[in-house]
């Protein structure tokens, strides 16, 4: 009986996938003769990708895997467990109908590009959430890193240079300085939390204010005097704006370099969390701190490590943000930490510590970016965007908590 069920599930996935795939291929060839080019844009390609995904999942399904039970109860459970994802899908469909241009490969790539820096932030902040803490200084660290790196990477001919006499230094030097500056503040975060057992909320709040003040002092130094930093060197701007494989076929906009950067960092963080002693310690401290101490884990060293690693990631995000916009002010990154925390929570990271996966965080960030981008795309008022964002966070956490209560 069970075997029969599994093969049913497998069949379902495979058949659905192949149907979508076939539909995609038909549309791909039919859209030009039918005059649908300006109506469905790249929809066929998306269908092909989705179809292939489902079909592959069906093929790869091992016998004995969890069976898909089709009943009213399981359907209801499925709806509540994936409410946010489904709401996003509905929104995407509505947007596609209102504004068919949404169905373009370049839009999908643009969303991934915008997700990249957010993902790096979220991966950093998830460490602090995993030990039942938080990090309010993350956004200001982004500002610090962007100002520090941009200030040393201006073209020689720019009229309003931050350091008028600075030679054209190697690209990596200012970037390293910016990231190290963040890591110093990260160490301060960790020290306050680990040494004095301060709640991370208050420790990082204090550090946040310090960073903003310090960054503003730096930004206000003569001759810059708080002017937005511009005249960014092209080689630095390329770091955030370069596009790979641009034009390999007609009209392909290219993949932003930010996407592979975020992917590499994602893999590294996954490795750190799942395959290293440090990663296991993070979960252990988050799950039960007393037990971790009894088990002989050096809590001080691990907490220091967590905050320094997190600040390193914020530093990277800040540098990329400066490169992407070819500019910086001390207001960059303002409020990013809350977006990152929200994305983590929507992605299933528990605020009480010990629970959270890299895959979930990626999902959380993507859901947030797609919704935000989509609402912007159909020109929804920013005030409504705020309301919708808040509702998503509340609903996501509510669902998560009911899930754990059931267990």
Partner 1 sequence: MRKVFILALTFLLVFSFTASADEIKIGSCIYRFNDAFMLRFRNAMSAESEKLGAKIEHADGQDNQITQNEQIDKFIADGVKVLIVNPVDRMSSQLIIDKAKAANIPVVFINREPPEEILNSYEKAYYVGAKAEESGTEAGQIIADYFKANPAADKNHDGKIQFVLLKGQNGHQDMILRSKYSVEAIKNAGIEPVEIASAIANWDKLQAMQIMNAFTMAIGPENIEAVIANNDEMALGAVEALKNSDYNKGDKNFYIPVVGVDANASALDAMNKGEMLGTVLNDSDNQGAAAVKLAYALASGGDVKSIGYEITDNKYIWIPYQKVTRGENK
- Selected range binding partner 1 among 27-35, 48-56, 128-136, 371-379, rule: CB under 8 A: 371-379
238 binds partner 1 (CB under 8 A): no
Q: Which is nearer to partner 1, 283 or 377 (CB)?
A: 377
41 binds partner 1 (CB under 8 A): no
137 binds partner 1 (CB under 8 A): no
Q: Which residues contact 316 (CB under 8 A, 6 or more apart)?
A: 120, 145, 179, 265
In a 13 Å sphere around the CA of 28, the CA atoms on its Cβ side amount to 12
Here's the x/- map for partner 1, 144-163, by CB under 8 A: it reads as --------------xxx---
What's the DSSP call for residue 100? Answer: G
Q: Which is nearer to partner 1, 71 or 379 (CB)?
A: 379
Whole-angstrom distance, CA of residue 213 vs CA of residue 218:
9
Q: Which of 4, 170, 225, 250 binds partner 1 (CB under 8 A)?
A: 225
270 binds partner 1 (CB under 8 A): no
Instruction: State the minimum distance, in angstroms, from the CB of residue 101 to partner 1.
Output: 6
Q: Which is nearer to partner 1, 158 or 270 (CB)?
A: 158
Query: What's the full length of the chain, in residues?
Result: 407
Phi, psi of 247, deg, nearest 5: 75, 20
- Selected range binding partner 1 among 127-135, 288-296, 322-330, 355-363, rule: CB under 8 A: 322-330
Q: Which of 326, 362, 365, 392 binds partner 1 (CB under 8 A)?
A: 326
Q: Which is nearer to partner 1, 318 or 360 (CB)?
A: 318
Here's the x/- map for partner 1, 375-394, by CB under 8 A: it reads as -xxxx--x------------
Beta bridge partners of 154: 232
Q: Which is nearer to partner 1, 53 or 254 (CB)?
A: 254
Give the SS3 label for residue 328: strand
Of 187, 232, 193, the residue nearest 211 (C-alpha): 187
Give me the helices (H) in 197-296, please.
200-219, 234-241, 258-275, 277-287, 289-294
368 binds partner 1 (CB under 8 A): no
Whole-angstrom distance, CA of residue 46 vs CA of residue 252:
14
Beta bridge partners of 244: 255
Of 98, 114, 10, the residue nearest 54 (C-alpha): 10
What dihedral do alpha carbons 255, 23, 87, 349 form, nearest 10°?
-50
- Selected range binding partner 1 among 24-32, 47-55, 170-178, 317-325, rule: CB under 8 A: 317-325
Q: Which is nearer to partner 1, 207 or 326 (CB)?
A: 326
How many CB atoms are closer than 10 A to CB 315?
A: 30
Q: Which is nearer to partner 1, 99 or 288 (CB)?
A: 99
Q: Contacts from 189-192 at CB under 8 Å and sequence distance 24+?
A: 189/135, 189/137, 189/307, 189/311, 190/303, 190/304, 190/305, 190/306, 190/307, 190/308, 191/304
Site for partner 1 in 114-133 (CB under 8 A): 114
Q: Which of 7, 168, 226, 352 binds partner 1 (CB under 8 A)?
A: 226
250 binds partner 1 (CB under 8 A): no
228 binds partner 1 (CB under 8 A): yes
248 binds partner 1 (CB under 8 A): no
Give the SS3 label for residue 134: coil
218 binds partner 1 (CB under 8 A): no
Whole-angstrom distance, CA of residue 75 vs CA of residue 72:
5
Q: Which is nearer to partner 1, 81 or 325 (CB)?
A: 325
317 binds partner 1 (CB under 8 A): no
Distances (CA, A) of 300 to 84, 196, 288, 289, 292: 37, 10, 15, 11, 11
Size of the site for partner 1 (CB under 8 A): 37
Residue ranges in contact with partner 1 by CB under 8 A: 99, 101-102, 104, 106-107, 110, 114, 158-160, 216, 219-220, 225-228, 230-231, 241, 253, 321, 324-327, 329-332, 373, 376-379, 382
């Amino acid at each position: 009986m069970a075997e029969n069920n599994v093969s049913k599930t497998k069949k379902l996935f495979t058949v659905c996938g192949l149907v979508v795939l076939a539909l995609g291929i038909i549309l791909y060839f039919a859209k030009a003769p039918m005059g649908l080019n300006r109506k469905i844009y790249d929809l066929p390609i998306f269908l092909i990708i989705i179809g292939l995904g489902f079909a592959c999942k069906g093929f790869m399904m091992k016998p004995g895997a969890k069976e898909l039970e089709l009943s009213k109860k399981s359907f209801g459970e499925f709806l509540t467990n994936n409410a946010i994802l489904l709401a996003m899908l509905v929104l995407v469909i509505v947007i596609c109908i209102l504004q068919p241009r949404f169905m373009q490969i370049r839009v999908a790539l643009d969303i991934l590009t915008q997700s990249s820096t957010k993902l790096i932030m979220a991966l950093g902040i998830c460490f602090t959430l995993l030990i039942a803490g938080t990090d309010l200084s993350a956004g200001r660290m982004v500002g610090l890193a962007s100002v520090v790196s941009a200030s040393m990477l201006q073209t020689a001919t720019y009229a309003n240079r931050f350091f008028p006499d600075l030679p054209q230094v190697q690209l990596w030097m200012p970037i390293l300085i910016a990231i190290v500056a963040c890591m110093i503040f990260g160490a301060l975060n960790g020290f306050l939390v680990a040494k004095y057992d301060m709640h991370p909320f208050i420790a990082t709040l204090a550090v946040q204010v310090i960073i903003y003040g310090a960054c503003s002092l730096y930004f206000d130094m003569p001759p810059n005097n708080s002017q937005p930093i511009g005249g960014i060197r092209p080689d630095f701007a390329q770091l955030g704006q370069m596009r790979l494989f641009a034009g390999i076929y007609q009209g392909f906009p290219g993949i932003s370099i930010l996407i592979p950067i975020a992917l590499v960092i994602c893999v590294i963080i996954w490795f750190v969390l799942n395959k290293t002693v440090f990663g296991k310690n993070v979960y252990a401290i988050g799950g039960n701190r007393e037990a971790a101490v009894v088990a002989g884990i050096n809590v001080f060293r691990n907490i220091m490590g967590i905050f320094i690693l997190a600040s390193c990631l914020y530093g990277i995000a800040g540098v990329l943000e400066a490169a992407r916009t070819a500019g910086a002010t001390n207001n960059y990154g303002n409020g990013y930490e809350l977006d990152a925390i929200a994305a983590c929570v929507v992605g299933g990271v528990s605020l009480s510590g010990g629970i959270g996966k890299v895959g979930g965080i990626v999902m959380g960030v993507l859901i947030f970016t797609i919704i935000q981008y989509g609402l912007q795309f159909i020109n929804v008022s920013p005030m409504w965007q705020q309301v919708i964002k808040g509702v998503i966070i509340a609903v996501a956490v509510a669902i998560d908590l009911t899930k754990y209560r059931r267990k």
